[in-house]
Amino acid sequence: MSPKMTGRRPVLLGIMGDSAAGKTTLTQGLTNLLGAHRVTHMCTDDYHKYDRAQRAALNITALDPDCNYLDILELQLERLHYGQPILKPVYEHATGTLIRPEYIKPREFVIVEGLLGFHSGVMRQFYDVKVYLEPPEDLRRVWKIRRDTAKRGYTVDQVLAELEKREADSREFIRTQRERADIVVQFYPPYGVSAEGANGHLNVRLILRPTIPHPDMSYLSEKQSQDTGIRLLLGRDTGRPVDILEIDGSVTPEQAAYLEETIWRHLPGVDPIGADQFGVYQDRGVKRQSDPLALTQLLLTYHLLRECGENTQRLFAPPVAALSRVSKAGVPSASTVTGALAPAPETIGQLR
């Protein structure tokens, strides 16, 4: 067996979830917190085989793995993991067409968001942290109607018809990826509040699985009364023990400010930014602020910086995405050539 390689390489964060689950909103705040000059962002939804008209003619949805070049996505995630540039396809949502590809060089942090980024084991091995967004379906439905009618020119009836058409694929291919996440983020309305009436006052629950190390967050609840709006609990998720961090949507501005200041003091290597740079979401074209969203973005940033700091020596995943295809063509298997093909750590990715 070849020795495991360690060295400096980009930190890959995957954020997956169904359409309109909040992936782009979460990503934007994380980018602002980490610093845009340190972050490369890419979307896995650009790897469609067919444009919108072709999908309609073929009666296939964009959620179906067969509708996407997932083998190319595997190869390009591998390159990003190894600090190498990619030529990424681009799907234009406004027109439903594939346009000129984009040349991307990985910076210190790479945030990958989309629908199918955890679909295969090859993809999953290249992430350092995997996050799945899981709002209740009635809330996601409200978000999708608001987004697609405001930004993409659809009518409410068209959005509802698309949701109905996609439901089977969503259930089979998207929601099953939840099991592969290290962190599950659930925004949900307080008890007795409808999805339409919740606005930004949503509770949030972070399910922290023991699949990766998590930073100590006990300081958030130490020596505080129960009405601070944040709780760190032990629980179970799908039968497995997990840590659960809950933040109430009713947290007061004073409580939120105190918690944000406390987290900022624990963030290594970043300076505080204005409150208008994170915790921000779009509601029918209007920018609004959510304290639970801001705290979630801060905590995820804290996680990345504490566990995946820029000077950390990180393991490199085996370069199986390319080598598995080579071996299929009759060339010696990956286990016999990994050492010859894998680049030396000191040559991988000049990240700064």
Predicted confidence (pLDDT) at residue 318 exceeds the cutoff of 90: no
State the pLDDT at residue 203: 94
Give the model confidence (pLDDT) of 217-232 as tens digits.
777 766 555 566 788 8
State the pLDDT at residue 331: 47
pLDDT band at 321 (very low <50, low <70, confident <90, very high): low
Cβ neighbours of 41 (radius 10 Å): 17
State the pLDDT at residue 325: 56
What does the DSSP assignment read for 63-112? Answer: TSGGGB-HHHHHHHHHHHHTT--EEEEEEETTTTEEEEEEEE---SEEEE
What pTM, to 2 d.p., does this model score? 0.88
Give the model confidence (pLDDT) of 187-211 as tens digits.
999 988 888 887 778 999 999 999 9
Structure token digits, residue 273: 């930014």
Give the model confidence (pLDDT) of 46-75 as tens digits.
999 999 999 999 999 999 999 999 999 999
Give the model confidence (pLDDT) of 262-314 as tens digits.
888 888 778 888 888 998 888 777 788 888 899 999 989 988 887 555 566 78
Q: Which helix (H) or strand (E) holds 204?
A: strand 203-208
Q: Sort 181 into a burial class: Cβ within 10 Å, 0-12 / 13-18 / 19+.
A: buried
State the pLDDT at residue 3: 61
* % of the chain beyond a pLDDT of 90: 57
pLDDT band at 151 (very low <50, low <70, confident <90, very high): confident
State the pLDDT at residue 341: 40
State the pLDDT at residue 131: 98
Contact present, 67 and 165 (Cβ < 8 Å): no
What does the DSSP assignment read for 242-293? Answer: EEEEEE-TT--HHHHHHHHHHHHHH-TT-----GGGSSEEEETTEEEE-HHH
Structural domains of the chain, ranges and CATH numbers in brackets: 9-347 (3.40.50.300)
